[in-house]
């Protein structure tokens, strides 16, 4: 029965195989060249050119870099400073931990032939895990953590490990922490890089330059005492301490900024000419008045209903299209010149001169009416 191979490329000998050499092969499998590499082995992977490097696993019981637990990345020649990928190629798509130690000067991403992988910065080491599809972080949670050196600012720390003073002070420029284990509640004391000790806590007003508001209020800065120089126009200011006012015609400006007074010196204007134009219901307005003159009304009134007329005399002339009888209510007097009038009957307060032809109707009292009867051919 022929031998088979495990995921780590350990030879699995068949029953009765390798007579006389079975022990030698077993020692190889259990030795440093096979299982030893997977458990404690360390191999070097060198980037000798500006190109990605691929490592593989094959069915041989000899040393292979991809089988090792720890991979040391080095650079040489054109590969110095190269930022690229360490690819786990054929045979490496298995579940396996790797300790990656990047000793080079360029970041290297450890990844499978597919997947995003994990980028290891230059000069850093980390633990990764190949899940058979992608390379991921080997660990992402710790119940507690004690650092042997200060956590850098770029990683969310302060970059320092000691401080002086006491009280609940805020961090100032380059502060220093006295307690290396921040997991335990303790008094945090600080000192600034400029040498200003905060030995008894912060009292009074923290200046704006040190991260405060310059005032005891935590909401607003004091614009009277905390702002120096001129507020630019872009920030809503004037960019000048004494804005200037331009004095125009008929205006005087007195006083000094900001308490200045603006007064008008003119006496008002004079109308030198009024012109009238326009026409309403046939009556037109014309003329011009300068220092003196008249506006004139002229024309013939039109478009006004009889009920709206209040003048003392109205003349009605013959027209067309009127036949039969009818009544006209009139004020004062009306002259009818129509041969078709057959008779005129005076009403209360009305006197009539002549019965037909040229008929004069006069009002003898207010509110009088005259009734005019028309023949079949009459009209106006």
**For residue range 66-103, what is the model confidence (pLDDT) as tens digits?**
999 999 999 999 999 999 999 999 999 999 999 999 99
CA-to-CA distance for 7 and 351, rounded, in angstroms? 139
Q: Is 183 inside a domain boundary?
A: yes
Whether residues 116 and 169 fall in one domain: no
**Is the pLDDT at 104 greater than 90, yes or no?**
yes
Over the stretch 296-317, which tens digit does the pLDDT of each residue have? Answer: 888 887 776 665 665 544 555 4
Exposure string of 178-217, with b = 16+ CB inside 10 Å and e = fewer, is beeeeeeeeebbbbbeeeeebeeebeeebeeeeebbbbee
Whether residues 130 and 169 fall in one domain: no
CB 43 within 8 A of CB 73: no
Percent of residues, the chain, with pLDDT higher than 70? 65
Over the stretch 208-233, which tens digit does the pLDDT of each residue have? Answer: 666 666 666 555 666 667 677 777 88
CA-to-CA distance for 36 and 33, rounded, in angstroms? 6
Whether residues 367 and 337 fall in one domain: yes
Whether residues 68 and 117 fall in one domain: yes
Residue range(s) defining the domain that contains residue 171: 159-199
Whether residues 177 and 114 fall in one domain: no
Q: Is 250 inside a domain boundary?
A: no
E-only strand ranges, 42-131 = 42-47, 53-55, 70-75, 84-88, 95-102, 108-112, 118-120, 125-131
Whether residues 70 and 125 fall in one domain: yes
State CA 211 to chain mean position distance: 28
The three-state secondary structure class of 301 is coil
Q: Is 205 inside a domain boundary?
A: no
Q: Is 341 inside a domain boundary?
A: yes
Exposure string of 32-64, with b = 16+ CB inside 10 Å and e = fewer, is ebbbbbbeebebebebeeeeebebebeeebeeb
Q: How confident is the model at residue 9 (pLDDT cuts 50, 70, 90)?
A: confident
Angle among Cα 282, 286, 290 to the nearest 5 degrees reads 160
Burial of 228 (0-12, 13-18, 19+ CB in 10 A): exposed
Phi first, then psi: what are they for 234, rounded to 5°? -65, -20
State the pLDDT at residue 12: 83
CA-to-CA distance for 236 and 35, rounded, in angstroms? 74
Residue identified by tokens 């603006």 is 262
Q: Residue 267 carries which DSSP code?
A: -
CA-to-CA distance for 361 and 350, rounded, in angstroms? 7
Whether residues 133 and 165 fall in one domain: no
The three-state secondary structure class of 153 is helix
Domain count, the chain: 3
Q: Is 66 inside a domain boundary?
A: yes
Q: How confident is the model at residue 262 (pLDDT cuts 50, 70, 90)?
A: confident
Question: Mean pLDDT for the chain?
Answer: 75
Whether residues 184 and 108 fall in one domain: no
**Is the pLDDT at 347 greater than 90, yes or no?**
no
Q: How confident is the model at residue 365 (pLDDT cuts 50, 70, 90)?
A: low
Q: How confident is the model at residue 26 (pLDDT cuts 50, 70, 90)?
A: confident
Whether residues 185 and 112 fall in one domain: no
State the pLDDT at residue 364: 66
**Is the pLDDT at 324 greater than 50, yes or no?**
no
State the pLDDT at residue 54: 96
Whether residues 64 and 120 fall in one domain: yes
| Residue 302 structure tokens | 């039109």
Q: Is 81 inside a domain boundary?
A: yes
Whether residues 56 and 96 fall in one domain: yes
CA-to-CA distance for 250 and 267, rounded, in angstroms? 9
Whether residues 117 and 184 fall in one domain: no
Q: Is 110 inside a domain boundary?
A: yes
Output the pTM of the full model: 0.44
Q: Is 22 inside a domain boundary?
A: no
């Amino acid at each position: 029965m022929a031998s088979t191979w495990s995921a780590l490329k350990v030879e699995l000998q068949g029953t009765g195989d390798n007579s006389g050499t079975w022990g030698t092969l077993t020692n190889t499998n259990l030795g440093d060249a096979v299982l030893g590499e997977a458990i404690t082995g360390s191999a070097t992977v060198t980037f000798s050119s500006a190109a990605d490097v691929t490592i593989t696993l094959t069915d041989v019981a000899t040393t292979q870099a991809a089988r090792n637990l720890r991979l040391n990345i080095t650079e040489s020649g054109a590969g110095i400073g190269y930022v690229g990928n360490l690819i786990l190629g054929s045979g490496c798509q298995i579940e396996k931990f790797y300790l990656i130690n990047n000793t080079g000067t360029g970041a290297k991403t450890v990844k499978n032939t597919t997947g995003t992988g994990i980028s290891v910065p230059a000069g850093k080491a980390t633990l990764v895990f190949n899940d058979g599809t992608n390379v991921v972080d080997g660990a992402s949670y710790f119940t507690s953590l004690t650092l042997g050196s200060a956590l850098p600012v770029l990683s969310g720390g302060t970059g320092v490990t000691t401080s002086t003073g006491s009280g609940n002070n805020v961090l100032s420029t380059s502060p220093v922490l006295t307690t290396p284990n921040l997991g335990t509640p303790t008094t945090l004391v600080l000192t600034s890089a400029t040498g200003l000790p905060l030995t008894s806590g912060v009292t009074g007003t923290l200046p704006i330059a040190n991260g405060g508001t310059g005032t005891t209020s935590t909401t607003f800065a004091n614009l009277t005492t905390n702002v120096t120089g001129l507020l630019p126009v872009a920030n809503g200011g004037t960019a000048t301490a004494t804005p200037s006012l331009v004095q125009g015609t008929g205006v005087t400006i007195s006083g000094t900024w900001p308490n200045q007074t603006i007064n008008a010196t003119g006496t008002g204007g004079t109308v030198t000419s009024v012109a009238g134009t326009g026409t309403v219901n046939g009556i037109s307005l014309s003329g011009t008045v300068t220092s003196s003159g008249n506006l004139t009304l002229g024309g013939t009134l039109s478009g006004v209903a009889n009920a709206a007329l209040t003048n003392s005399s109205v003349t009605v002339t013959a027209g067309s299209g009127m036949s039969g009888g009818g009544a006209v209510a009139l004020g004062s007097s009306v002259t009818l010149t129509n041969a078709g009038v057959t008779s005129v009957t005076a009403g209360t307060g009305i006197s009539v001169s002549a019965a037909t032809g040229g008929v004069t109707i006069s009002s003898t009292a207010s509110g009088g009416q005259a009734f005019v009867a028309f023949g079949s051919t009459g009209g106006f």
